[in-house]
């Protein structure tokens, strides 16, 4: 058996791993590097492609597979959100006028090739999926073949969040031969989630007291709904006073519809509610013109480089009464949010604006931090652990923490491990 690390090795983005025996060839994820204009060419001779979750760095390259038509396996919500994100990617490429070889037909083909299931059998191989935390519908994949067990975590989170249960390592197969684990935060330990939520509410409250606006750029999938639900609940419970709260992304609004329909992916608490993501204090708007200030606005893009968040960032950043809250841990080097946070300026069409609004980064991440990554390895005690989906520095920091428990490798892109 061979495991080939095609993408997402010593880096974040473009995740793809091939597991191949004499009888079967499987891909674990098929992603793109978000923000890069060209797709990387991956092999397309797979029998099955497993998609761990609906983030494009794990699924975006599926458009290039629509000729080869392998079976795609993943959860129902991953299927629906992935195809929506693919349609959205095609739309954006068209608006920007870039040459793009794929159309909506290719995104439809992805949906048609999708099998919603938690297990699949191939000649001499069986694959079982397990809940991963991270985002709604995220799965880990355990491959059993040639008498060996390999677990691929995808992106995961051990602690519960407001809407999602964390992954429980006790429910995962023990006695693994190989654990392929993400290492995004391999060198970083974050404060407890409730501390971060307190910090968020404090920032919102102080902005409300001076009647300012709060801009919260967020991804359309999961982070938008999680943030809206969190603020809605805090207002219902009187933790925050009532204030105008809006979401703007139409894509996020459509995804919210899936969240109301597929309640089984969420916590028991959420499942008990009739339409858990129909909010009392949060209204959906179609465009920024409809905003009545002052307000709290949750909108895309998550990095502030396009859409409503780009527009409002330019509108609100110069006013010291306003706040900009960044909930993502990672920001691309050239993104407006990163420049606003680190240099205190905004650059739009060559025009420089000083940022006087408060810019706070509160990392309400869905990834395991170093403590949780180490806990995972400790619980599963694999013979060998392979670190992927992390910058080299992060992977090395994690490697130091776990090298007494397990044999560790940090493969480069294109590297193959033979078992």
Give contact residues for Zn ion (rule: CB under 5 A): 55, 155
In the bound state with Zn ion, the residue whose beta carbon lies nearer, of 125 and 129, is 129
CA dist 17 to 195, 376, 410, 413, Å?
Answer: 36, 20, 13, 10
Q: In the bound complex, what is the minimum distance in angstroms from residue 348's beta carbon to Zn ion? A: 29
Cβ-based neighbours of 401, under 8 Å, separated by 6 or more: 370, 373, 374
In the bound state with Zn ion, the residue whose beta carbon lies nearer, of 185 and 316, is 185
In the bound state with Zn ion, the residue whose beta carbon lies nearer, of 55 and 223, is 55
Cβ-based neighbours of 269, under 8 Å, separated by 6 or more: none
Grouping H, G, I as helix, E, B as strand and the rest as coil, residue 282 is strand
In the bound state with Zn ion, the residue whose beta carbon lies nearer, of 149 and 155, is 155
Cβ-based neighbours of 342, under 8 Å, separated by 6 or more: none
Q: In the bound complex, what is the minimum distance in angstroms from residue 347's beta carbon to Zn ion? A: 29
Report the distance separating Cα 131 and Cα 138, nearest Å: 6
Report the distance separating Cα 196 and Cα 154, nearest Å: 24
Q: In the bound complex, what is the minimum distance in angstroms from residue 52's beta carbon to Zn ion? A: 8
Q: In the bound complex, what is the minimum distance in angstroms from residue 24's beta carbon to Zn ion? A: 26
Number of H helices, E strands in the chain: 11, 22
Q: What is the phi-psi region of residue 163: left when phi exceeds 0, alpha when psi lies from -120 to 50, beta otherwise?
A: alpha
Q: In the bound complex, what is the minimum distance in angstroms from residue 417's beta carbon to Zn ion? A: 23
* Contact in structure between 128 and 119 (CB atoms under 8 Å): yes
In the bound state with Zn ion, the residue whose beta carbon lies nearer, of 55 and 139, is 55
In the bound state with Zn ion, the residue whose beta carbon lies nearer, of 33 and 55, is 55
Q: In the bound complex, what is the minimum distance in angstroms from residue 366's beta carbon to Zn ion? A: 7
Q: In the bound complex, what is the minimum distance in angstroms from residue 99's beta carbon to Zn ion? A: 28
What does the DSSP assignment read for 62-108? GGGGTTT--EEEE-HHHHHHHHHHHHHHHHHHHHTT---S--HHHHH
Grouping H, G, I as helix, E, B as strand and the rest as coil, residue 153 is coil
Q: In the bound complex, what is the minimum distance in angstroms from residue 12's beta carbon to Zn ion? A: 9
In the bound state with Zn ion, the residue whose beta carbon lies nearer, of 234 and 388, is 388
* Contact in structure between 139 and 54 (CB atoms under 8 Å): no
In the bound state with Zn ion, the residue whose beta carbon lies nearer, of 20 and 226, is 226
* Contact in structure between 292 and 256 (CB atoms under 8 Å): no
């Amino acid at each position: 058996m061979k495991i080939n690390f095609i993408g997402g090795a010593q880096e974040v983005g473009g995740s793809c791993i091939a597991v191949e025996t004499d009888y079967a060839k499987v891909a674990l994820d098929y992603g793109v590097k978000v923000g890069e204009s060209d797709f990387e060419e991956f092999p397309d001779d797979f029998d099955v492609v497993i998609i761990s979750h609906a983030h494009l760095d794990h699924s975006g390259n599926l458009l290039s597979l629509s000729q080869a038509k392998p079976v795609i396996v993943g959860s129902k919500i991953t299927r629906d959100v992935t195809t929506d994100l693919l349609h959205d990617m095609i739309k954006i490429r068209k608006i920007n006028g870039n040459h793009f070889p794929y159309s909506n037909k290719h995104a439809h083909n992805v949906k048609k090739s999708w099998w919603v299931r938690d297990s699949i059998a191939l000649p001499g191989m069986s694959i079982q999926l397990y809940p991963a935390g991270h985002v709604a519908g995220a799965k880990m994949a355990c491959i059993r073949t040639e008498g060996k067990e390999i677990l691929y975590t995808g992106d995961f989170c051990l602690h519960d969040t407001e809407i999602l249960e964390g992954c429980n390592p006790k429910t995962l197969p023990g006695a693994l031969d190989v654990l392929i684990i993400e290492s995004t935060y391999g060198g970083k330990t974050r404060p407890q989630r409730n501390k971060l939520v307190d910090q968020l509410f404090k920032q919102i409250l102080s902005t409300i007291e001076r009647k300012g606006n709060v801009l919260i750029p967020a991804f359309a999938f999961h982070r938008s709904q999680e943030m809206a639900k969190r603020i809605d609940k805090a207002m219902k419970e009187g933790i925050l006073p009532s204030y105008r709260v809006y979401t703007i992304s139409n894509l996020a609004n459509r995804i919210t519809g899936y969240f109301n329909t597929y309640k089984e992916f969420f916590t028991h608490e959420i499942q008990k509610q009739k339409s858990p993501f129909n909010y009392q204090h949060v209204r959906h708007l179609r465009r920024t013109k409809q905003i009545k200030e002052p307000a709290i606005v949750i909108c895309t893009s998550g990095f502030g480089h396009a859409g409503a968040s780009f527009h409002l960032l330019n509108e609100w950043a110069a006013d010291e009464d306003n706040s900009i809250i960044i909930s993502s841990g990672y920001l691309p080097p050239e993104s407006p949010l990163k420049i606003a946070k680190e240099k205190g300026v905004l650059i739009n069409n060559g025009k420089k604006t000083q940022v006087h609004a408060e810019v706070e980064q509160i990392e309400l991440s869905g990834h395991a931090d170093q403590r949780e990554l180490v806990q995972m390895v400790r619980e599963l005690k694999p013979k060998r652990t392979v670190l992927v989906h992390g910058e080299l520095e992060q992977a090395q920091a994690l490697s130091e923490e776990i090298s007494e428990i397990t044999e560790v490798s940090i493969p480069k892109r294109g590297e193959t491990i033979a078992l």
